[in-house]
Chains A and B, each alone.
Chain A
Amino acid sequence: MMLKSILILSIVFNTSSDCGAAQALVHVEPAHLQGPRSLQEQTGTAAIRDYMQSWQSFRAALEQNRAELLSPDFVGAAKEKLTDTIQTQTALGIRTRYVDREHDLQIVFYSPEGLSIEILDRVQYDMQVFDQNKVIATQRMSARYLVVLTPAEIRWRVRVFQASPN
């Protein structure tokens, strides 16, 4: 069942990845839920698919300094913080390129009323910083992201997107 989920995610992710960008490896651990509500496979798959989609808009938005690219996937504080970062980057003439290499995902909470899902993402990504289009740093990063998604009309949106120490 979980293998099927991973396969579905791979397909979704591959078809929508940027051309030329290396595809991230996505590994989904079995859900380890606290809370009374059971998680249907379809719900978990949709949440992870939408979260992975959010990485693409996150990457594009921070690389192109276009906050509007965040709108389909981010909401609330996550969107506000990323938007602030993009505005500051624009003001400073900075751009950042995030290339995610590997995600190790686990759904850790599905709220009893079904209005939020929390995902833990141990992610490895490459980060490049440009100042006036000149590369000033390239670094492989490793972080543990706490992600909270809430349902919107037709998809899950990222409401909290926060790295914590590994």
Chain B
Amino acid sequence: MKPGMLSLLSGLAVAVGQLTLAQDVRMTLPKVVEAGSPFAIQSSGRGKSTLYVVGPAQVFRRDVQLGKMTIIPAGSLTNAGHYLAVLTSSSSTTNGTFDVVPSNQPAELNFLAKPSRLPVDLHGGITGAVYVFDAYHNLIGTPTPVSFELSSPGGDVQKHIVITHDGVAWTGMDSTAFAGTDRFMARSGDVSITRVVSQVPGDPCGLKMSARQSGQQLQLSTEPVRDCRGNAVPDGTIVTFTESYHGDLSTVDVPIKRGIAEVQMPLQSGAAISVASGVVLGNQIGGGK
């Protein structure tokens, strides 16, 4: 056979081979893969090919042998998302899509708890929201139970179990009756995270003062200032004493010190003296000689 004819036949053979390749190349993909898990892609045909797996969250390329099963090892594709797989050879291309979904095992919680400080005895005053992620920081979209627990130093515990919806769960808690540092914990699976919530006394309750004459002065002193639950209102809280005398008002602001507020005011016959703290009004006494 002449060399030219041989070359032509050889070219035809290649062309037929490519055509066969073009007709035969198929790819079988899993519909869904769990993040980080191994999986297999089956292809048909013969020869070498290149596999692309492409998505916004991850991309890779590797050489594969057509007709053989391509194993994608564990830990290769870890980011949840919708992926396009492309298998190309010199003459043909085939595409397919599949999803990588998060593992159902929580490994990380994003816990937004508010506020970090609030008055005691406030209904629904504390809120927490939790986003649940797997080990690859994929948001777990399937319903997952989250336990919220608020515990006070006194031993009071509030517990709510909430199922996530689209990866998130939230709850509201009441602040307890006693001032102090509470622990607000969220748990899902084996993972937990704790926030500290400081509960401070509420507004003064039953604010009461007494007066004692001291020369030409009147010594005014409150009883220990407490909120309605009996928690001591913190030192530094301002107590306002107001003296009203013939239409004139004189006001003195005094910080609470060691639990009480004290002040000296001029002793004036017929004066009325009242005490208040913030919006809370205490008792009133006359200041006559």
Contacts and interface: CB of A to CB of B under 8 A. Distances in A.
A163 B61 contact: no
A29 interface: no
B259 to A, nearest CB: 33
Contacts, number: 136
A28 interface: no
A136 B88 contact: yes
B114 A113 contact: yes
Contact of B57 (A81, A89, A111, A129): A81
A165 B32 CA distance: 8
Contact of B165 (A34, A81, A161, A164): A34
B127 to A, nearest CB: 4
B101 A165 contact: yes
B59 A92 contact: yes
Contacts of A81: 56-58, 79, 137
Nearest to A142: B82
A118 B167 contact: yes
Contacts of A143: 81-82
A26 interface: no
A56 interface: no
A135 to B, nearest CB: 10
Interface in B150-199: 165-168, 170, 172
**Interface of B, helix, strand, loop or mixed by DSSP:** strand
A20 interface: no
B131 A129 contact: no
B25 to A, nearest CB: 13
Nearest to B85: A137
Interface string B259-287: 00000000000000000000000000000
A131 interface: yes
A85 B58 contact: yes
B99 A137 contact: no
A62 interface: yes
B114 A94 contact: no
Contacts of B124: 36
A96 B86 CA distance: 13
A141 to B, nearest CB: 6
Contacts of A92: 59-61
Nearest to A135: B93
Contact of A88 (B59, B81, B101): B59
A24 interface: no
Interface in A89-112: 89, 92, 94, 96, 98, 108-109, 111-112
B80 A164 contact: yes
Contacts of A88: 58-60
A95 to B, nearest CB: 10
Given A81-B79, A116-B112, A146-B167, 16 more contacts: A34-B170, A58-B56, A85-B58, A85-B59, A88-B58, A89-B59, A113-B112, A113-B114, A127-B54, A137-B93, A160-B131, A162-B141, A163-B57, A163-B99, A164-B141, A165-B101
11 contacts: A82-B57, A88-B59, A94-B52, A96-B59, A113-B113, A113-B114, A131-B52, A136-B88, A137-B95, A146-B139, A164-B82
